[in-house]
Amino acid sequence: MVFLYHPLIVHFPVALWMTSALFELLYVARRENLYATVARFLIGLGLLGAAVSIASGWIDLLTQVKLGVGTGIVIQHRIHSVLAYGATAAYLAVFLGRWRRPDVPGWTIALSLIGALVIAAAGFYGGELRRVM
């Protein structure tokens, strides 16, 4: 059995993005810019972690493919990847949409909360994928 790095690393961007969703909701409830600023920093840190998670995910998958993992695992990984890439793209759009802006566009809040739902689904699916490996 090969040691897989991705399951250890992926918790960081997921936790950062889920926490950013909490700060988004606090910003909506209280309209204090501090909450939006914290959410933006958490999103940025999550993007850095996502880059490492994506790389480790591909390295782990390619290692498994070399060892002869089944086609079913590869197909499940593609579905998981689409969800994870979708969430990463959403958070990148949110981060860029707020880059050096004093205001918080409403679409960025909505997209951030959608990203949290998508990354939660990706995390669940990835956990199920790991469980059957």
Position 90 in a domain: yes
pTM given for the model? 0.92
Position 44 in a domain: yes
d(CA 106, CA 129): 35
* Count of structural domains within the chain: 1
- Residue 56 structural domain: 6-132
The tens digit of pLDDT for each residue in 57-100 reads 999 889 888 988 888 888 998 999 999 999 999 999 999 999 98
Nearest in space to 115 (alpha carbons), one of 43, 33, 64: 43
Question: Percent helix, strand and coil across the chain, each rounded to 5?
Answer: 85, 0, 15
Residue 18 — very low, low, confident or very high, per pLDDT cuts 50/70/90? very high
Q: What is the pLDDT of residue 1?
A: 56
Position 78 in a domain: yes
